[in-house]
Structure 1
Amino acid sequence: MDEKFFELASELEQARRDEALRLFRERADSGPGRDVCDCGEDIPPARRLAAPSAIRCIACQTIFERTRKCLL
């Protein structure tokens, strides 16, 4: 039972790594930044000019940073 559990956990971990790597490559292939945020809204031209590598709008970036601080 334990061996099967660890095997399934390992497979799940590998699937998550593969998905994260796929998403990373997809974003990297699209250039230094993106035109559309994860929320579906366009990233404003002024933001893209100020931060060319931005991948989130200001609101989503703020939420990301606040959430990340809570996790640290």
Structure 2
Amino acid sequence: MVCPFDRAQALEQRQRDQAIAAQLAQVRPIGPSRTHCLDCEHPIPEKRRALGGKVRCTPCESLFEQGQRR
């Protein structure tokens, strides 16, 4: 008989692997980042720009991802 804890651990590991694979499969922006936000024109922090392909500041990107715009 299989231990229920082992089954739960195996299920959790499968779900974690699927979540990681889904994140890695997402298209990532490439190219240079803008220096100022596309929506509000505030400067984009250097650490965020270093990720590449950033066009919005963090607050505006959050609103954009939620389907809202400023």
Normalised by the size of structure 1, how large is the TM-score? 0.46
Which of the pair has more CA radius of gyration? Answer: 2
Task: Specify which structure has the bigger relative contact order, considering alpha-carbon pairs within 8 angstroms and separated by 6 or more residues.
Answer: 2
Which of the pair is proportionally richer in helix?
1
